[in-house]
Structure 1
Amino acid sequence: MSEELLERVRRLEDRNAIEELLARYGNACDDRDMEALAGCFARDFEFDSVAGHSVGRDAAMAYYGERLGSYGVTLHIPHTLVLEELEEDTARGVVLSSAEMEIEHEMFVTGFRYHDRYVRDEGRWRFRSRQVQAFYAMPLRELAGRLDPLRVRWPGTEPKAAPLPELLPSWQEFRGPRE
């Protein structure tokens, strides 16, 4: 096989492995399989959550243990992956996702994007970092009708504006003269 063809096959295999990582993450969260979830993160994994900025797999597992422990049934659904960069051992992408979660005996729904960095670690693709931006997060009963700007409504927090899509430059340019 030519070098070019080998490189194309490697890139396809890497993309497939990253897409499987997204599915493994969702399954591990929903199954409360903490060992599988830990396997999704690099040792120096970084993420931002409602608890703030965290660094390290152990910090992530402490957060997820507490957070998932407060939920009932969950369903995490990665929809699409746009790989913006794919090198031999690093990658960067944007994942459109949604989730359904039972929180305090009520069904919550959320639509969001992850801005991910991936790293090949011990021969396997893992998350190096994840940053999430919400379109909405609220009780299912509140989703009907027009979405107002304060559509991030987690239990125990004040409602706040969602960063997506209104803060995107393309959205602002498109909507500017209309609003």
Structure 2
Amino acid sequence: MTDQTLESRIKQLEDRAELQELVAVYGHRIDDRDIDGIADLYTGDAVFDSTDGPISGRGPVLDYYRRQLDRYGMTYHYPHSHTIEFTGPDTATGVVSAHAELAIGPTPFVVALRYLDSYRREEGRWKFVSRRALQLYAAPLSELPDVLSGRLRKRWPGTEPLEADIPETLPTWKAYESSRA
């Protein structure tokens, strides 16, 4: 047993459940094109880091979402695993493994993601302070059987294939690979 009281342990379980709900609601609001609802999930000083690099401030982050969502037809975001580390009574970090299915024109796409999140409780609710989306792969569904075998797994329309963000760049991956040599 730790030195935590029963009350503080229950509070942490409630906070963990609220953070998991935040991540689930994020996917629903993206897929439903609920821009006001997405805004409500972020702090005013939010940062989102993805394909366009880091974007700071709730307004610019929402502009990014609008631009991206304008490119897509139907989308379906679904989180898988979610780990959370509390860094203070009102702050935490998390790692979310997720997938997204989307349509770009007539082409169905699939994306595997790992979000690196920072959270802060504001006005009694947990919100995203930052989200960094790392791509394991992004490809037309028809290319999925071939895409997993190489490093050029980011295959967005209109661009040359790019190396995936992870896992090859991770220190643990690199150490494992060097131990095999």
Task: Using structure 1 for the length normalisation, give the TM-score.
Answer: 0.93
The 8 Å contact of residues 46 and 56 in structure 1, kept in 2 or not, is answered as yes
> Within 1, Cα distance between the matches of 2:61 and 2:46?
8
Q: Deviations over 1:41-76 (max 9, x none)?
A: 111101123223211111111111111121101000
The 8 Å contact of residues 11 and 86 in structure 1, kept in 2 or not, is answered as no
2:154 to 148, 152, 155: 152
> Within 2, Cα distance between the matches of 1:113 and 1:52?
15
Structure 1 residue 78 corresponds to structure 2 residue 100:
no
Paired residue type of 2:170: L
Distance 1:52 1:177, change over 3 A: closer
Equivalences for residues 12-161 of structure 1 within 5 A: 12-145=13-146, 146-161=148-163
Paired residue type of 1:161: E
**Identity value in percent:** 44
Runs of 4+ in structure 1 off by over 4 angstroms are none
Where 1:150 maps in the other structure, the secondary structure is coil
What is the CA-CA distance between 1:147 and the residue it aligns to?
A: 2.3
> Within 2, Cα distance between the matches of 1:103 and 1:86?
39
Q: Which runs of 5 or more structure 2 residues have no equivalent in the other structure? A: none
> Within 2, Cα distance between the matches of 1:93 and 1:10?
17
2:171 to 169, 172, 175: 169
> Within 2, Cα distance between the matches of 1:69 and 1:122?
32
Aligned residues: 178
> Within 2, Cα distance between the matches of 1:37 and 1:126?
10
Where 1:19 maps in the other structure, the secondary structure is helix
Where 2:108 maps in the other structure, the secondary structure is strand
Task: Using structure 2 for the length normalisation, give the TM-score.
Answer: 0.92
Q: Which runs of 5 or more structure 1 residues have no equivalent in the other structure? A: none
What is the CA-CA distance between 1:167 and the residue it aligns to?
A: 1.2
Q: Deviations over 1:12-36 (max 9, x none)?
A: 0000000000011000000111111
Where 2:73 maps in the other structure, the secondary structure is strand
